[in-house]
Chains A and B, each alone.
Chain A
Amino acid sequence: MITVLYYALTAFVAVLLVRNFIDRKKWQEEVLYVIVLLPFVLRILRLK
C-alpha cells in the first residue's frame, strides 16, 4: 500500500515538473527541469 502511494507521489511530482517545464521562459531552466524529470519517469516506468 505504501509502495503504491509512493508511485502516486512520484507521478504527481512528475506532473508538476512537466508543468514547470512548460511555464519556463529561459532555456537553461527548461533543460534543468527535463533532467530532474528523468529519474521520476524511469521510476514510474519501473526501469530504475
Chain B
Amino acid sequence: MSPMPTAMTMRKIVIAALGAALGAAAGLSFYQSRHLPEPVVPGPGVTAVKKLSDYFGPLEGTANDVNVYVLEGAEPGGAFLVLCGTHPEEPAGRLAGWIFAENASVSKGRLFVILTANRSASTVTRLGGAYPPDYTIVTPWGGRTFRMGDRWSSPLDQWPDPEVYVHYPSRQELAYIDIRNLNRTFPGRPGGTLTEKTGHAILELIRKERVDVVIDLHEAELQYPVISTIVAHEKGADLATLTSMMLSSEGGFAMGVENSPRALRGLSHREIGDNSDAVSLLLEAPQPFLDATRGRTDRALLLTGRDEFVVRAGKQGLLFEKIDDAGWPIDVRVGRHTSTILQILEIWSEDNPGRAVVAGGVPRYDEVIKSGTGAYLKDVKTADPAKIVYE
C-alpha cells in the first residue's frame, strides 16, 4: 500500500472536520437565533392573552400560532387591532406594540395587540443580508434582547417557493418570494400556505371580534416613496387625514397620508378594508437600516439609524425622507408609532362615541425620545413568573 492514499485520506478527514466545525458553529448560531426567547410582561390593562388559533384552529401548533393580547375596558365600546411584526425586521413596530402590551390601560372598548404577526419571519434573518441575529434595547434595569427577524416567513416553515406567486383571490402575479410575505398574502386563505393561513386567521379575528380599526405598524427605507406616512384604505381616509393634520401641527413630527392603491393586492391596508368591516391603516416610519446604499449592517445601524452612505444618498437627492448625521434613532421611530396610534384612537373615539376605544398609560413621541424605549419595558426578573408570556 503506497503512502499517498493515506496522506490523501488524512487530508480529507482534516478538511471534512474543518467543514463540520464550520457547520456546527453556523448551525448553533442559527438555532440560538431561531429560538431566542422574547418575554412579555403583560401590563395592568391586559385582561386576556389569546392565541391566533382561537380564531382559526388549523394554525394551532405552527410557528405562527401567536399571542393576541386583549385589553378590555370596563365600559363597552369599539375595538382596535394593533398589528406589529407583520415584517419583524422593522423593529419599531414591534417595540411600540410591546409598550402597549406592557403599559396600556383601557377604560372603554377593547384593544387587541399582536406583537409578532408573522412569528416565523421573526426567527430568521435575510439570506445574504449579513443582518445581526438580534438586538438589545437598553433599559434602566439592564436590557431586553429581541430577535432581528426578516420580511419573509422562514423557509423552514414554508418551502419551496413557486416560480411566480399568484395572489389569492385576485390572481395577481407577484414576486415568487412574496408568497412568504404576510403583507402580500392578505386576506389569506384557510387551505393555503402558512403565511396565507396567518392572514386568514387575522381576518377571522377582525370579523369575529367586530374590530373597527386595524393599524399595521411598519418601517421603510428612505429610498422608498411611501415613508413617514399613513397608508389608508378609502374607508379610513378622513381618519388618516385628520390624524396627519393633528400630528404634523401639534404632535412634534410630520406625518403624511397615502391612499391605498386598489391595483396592488395582498397588502393589509387594501385587503383588510376590502374583506371586513374594519378601517385599515398602515403606518410607515423611516429605517435607514433597510436602505440598499447602507454601509455596515449591524446592531448600531439598526438602533441609531445613522449611516454616512445613506446621508450621502440624501445629498444626491435620492431619498424620500430627510436624514442627517443624527440619523433616525429607534426611540424616534417608536415614538412616532405610539403617538400616531394614540392620535388615531382619540380622533376615532370623538367621531364614533358609540364605538369609542379609550386607552392611557402609553408614552407619546416626546416622552419616548426623552426617556427612551427601554424605560417602558418591564423588568422580567422582578415580574411574577406566572404572568410572563413569550413571543
Binding between chains A and B: yes
- What is A's interface to B at a CB cutoff of 8 Å? 2-3, 6, 21-22, 25, 27, 30-31, 34-35, 37-38, 41-43, 45-48
A-B contacts, 30 listed (Cβ < 8 Å) = A3-B159, A6-B160, A21-B12, A21-B16, A22-B12, A25-B8, A27-B11, A27-B15, A30-B11, A30-B12, A30-B15, A34-B18, A34-B19, A35-B19, A37-B19, A38-B22, A38-B23, A38-B26, A42-B27, A43-B155, A46-B156, A47-B26, A47-B27, A47-B30, A47-B34, A48-B26, A48-B27, A48-B30, A48-B124, A48-B156
Measured between alpha carbons, how far is A27 from B18 in the docked complex, in Å? Answer: 13
- Shortest distance between the CB of B15 and any CB in chain A (Å): 5
Contact status B26-A34, CB under 8 Å: no
Contact status A6-B27, CB under 8 Å: no
Majority SS of interface residues in chain A? Answer: helix
Contact status B16-A42, CB under 8 Å: no
User: With A3-B160, A34-B18 in contact, is A42–B30 under 8 Å at CB?
Assistant: yes
Cβ < 8 Å to A, chain B residues 94-112 = none
Chain B residues lying within 8 Å of A34, measured Cβ to Cβ, are 15-16, 18-19
Contact status B23-A42, CB under 8 Å: yes
- Shortest distance between the CB of A37 and any CB in chain B (Å): 7
Nearest B residue to A45, CB-CB: B27
Contact status A2-B160, CB under 8 Å: yes
Nearest A residue to B34, CB-CB: A47
Measured between alpha carbons, how far is A21 from B12 in the docked complex, in Å? Answer: 8
Q: Does B224 contact A (CB under 8 A)?
A: no
Contact status A47-B160, CB under 8 Å: no
Residues 2-32 of B, flagged 1 when their CB comes within 8 A of A and 0 if not, give 0000001001100110110011001100110
Cβ < 8 Å to A, chain B residues 31-50 = 31, 34
- Shortest distance between the CB of B156 and any CB in chain A (Å): 5
Q: How large is the interface on B (under 10, 10 to 19, 20 to 34, 35 or more residues)?
A: 10 to 19
Measured between alpha carbons, how far is A3 from B162 in the docked complex, in Å? Answer: 12
Chain A residues lying within 8 Å of B8, measured Cβ to Cβ, are 25
Nearest A residue to B160, CB-CB: A6
- Shortest distance between the CB of A48 and any CB in chain B (Å): 5
Q: Which of B16, B18, B23 has the most CB of A within 10 A?
A: B23
Measured between alpha carbons, how far is A6 from B34 in the docked complex, in Å? Answer: 22
Nearest A residue to B159, CB-CB: A3
Contact status B31-A47, CB under 8 Å: yes
- Shortest distance between the CB of A46 and any CB in chain B (Å): 5
Chain B residues lying within 8 Å of A38, measured Cβ to Cβ, are 19, 22-23, 26
4 tightest A-B CB contacts, nearest first: A34-B19, A47-B27, A48-B30, A47-B30
Measured between alpha carbons, how far is A33 from B11 in the docked complex, in Å? Answer: 14
Measured between alpha carbons, how far is A6 from B336 in the docked complex, in Å? Answer: 43
- Shortest distance between the CB of B129 and any CB in chain A (Å): 13
Nearest B residue to A48, CB-CB: B30
Cβ < 8 Å to A, chain B residues 138-191 = 155-156, 159-160
Measured between alpha carbons, how far is A35 from B11 in the docked complex, in Å? Answer: 15
- Shortest distance between the CB of A30 and any CB in chain B (Å): 5
Chain A residues lying within 8 Å of B18, measured Cβ to Cβ, are 34
Chain B residues lying within 8 Å of A37, measured Cβ to Cβ, are 19
- Shortest distance between the CB of A40 and any CB in chain B (Å): 10
- Shortest distance between the CB of A1 and any CB in chain B (Å): 12
Contact status A42-B26, CB under 8 Å: yes
- Shortest distance between the CB of B201 and any CB in chain A (Å): 20
Measured between alpha carbons, how far is A35 from B160 in the docked complex, in Å? Answer: 22
Measured between alpha carbons, how far is A48 from B27 in the docked complex, in Å? Answer: 7
Nearest A residue to B156, CB-CB: A46
Nearest A residue to B23, CB-CB: A38
Nearest B residue to A42, CB-CB: B27
Nearest A residue to B125, CB-CB: A48
Measured between alpha carbons, how far is A45 from B23 in the docked complex, in Å? Answer: 11
Contact status B23-A41, CB under 8 Å: yes
Chain B residues lying within 8 Å of A30, measured Cβ to Cβ, are 11-12, 15
